[in-house]
Amino acid sequence: MEVFEAIRRRRSIRQYKPDEVPISEIEKVLQAANWAPSARNTQPWHFIVARGAKKDEFARLYGQIVERGMPPADRRTPDQERRLAWAHTLGKAPVVIIALTYRGDDPGRVKSSLESTSAALENLMLAATALGLGTCWMTGPLAEEARLREMFSIGSEWEIVATTPLGYPDGLPDPPARQDPEMKEKVTWIGFDER
């Protein structure tokens, strides 16, 4: 798939088919992540890839986090119920990926390290799209960071950047509209008198 098409087709997928993702496909998306640019070429990322019981445990934690912010069951809207179902099961995705970035002991590097790993994660998501796989960038689970660290034995030298399910989408949501689609407000052109 051409890169512009992958960029346009990538969506946050919150419903997955139960089909397993072959390890060879998971390796392809991880390889795409590994080719991202990084500050001083530090390549500071690490990915935890989980399926089975650990993935289910992760989904239960996310479900608890989302449920906490909702009204009681008898006062929920259908949309809230949908969000909760997604959270409790991770939309039935077979795999979850946790993106970590090396924090080290230099506070000056935290920002560039986060940026590098964000670039890697976006590469991963675009590669997944090109392979017909779905993802959803999620930082919601970080609301229980301590439990997440314990669940996956993540040491303090690592910053948790984001998490994503990985699996085959069960339907594609409509793309949310872009704010300022012609980018009149979002871009400042300098020295382009023809515009």
CA torsion, points 44, 101, 111, 11, in degrees to nearest 10?
A: 110
Strand partners, 167: 134
State which residue, 22 or 158, has the beta carbon closest to ligand FMN: 158
Question: What's the CA gap between 183 and 187, in Å, rounded?
Answer: 6
State which residue, 105 or 158, has the beta carbon closest to ligand FMN: 158
Strand partners, 166: 95
How many residues bind ligand FMN, per CB under 6 A? 8
By CB under 6 A, what part of segment 128-147 binds ligand FMN?
136-140
* Dihedral sign computed on CA atoms, order 185, 189, 190, 193: negative
x/- letters, 37..76, toward ligand FMN (CB under 6 A)? ----------------------------------------
Write phi, then psi, for 137 (nearest 5 degrees): -60, 125
State which residue, 1 or 23, has the beta carbon closest to ligand FMN: 1
Classify strands 158-166 and 45-51 as parallel, antiparallel or unpaired.
unpaired
State which residue, 26 or 90, has the beta carbon closest to ligand FMN: 90
Binding of ligand FMN by 176 (CB under 6 A): yes
Beta carbon of residue 84, minimum distance to ligand FMN (angstroms, whole number) = 11
Q: Which residues bind ligand FMN (CB under 6 A)?
A: 11-12, 136-140, 176
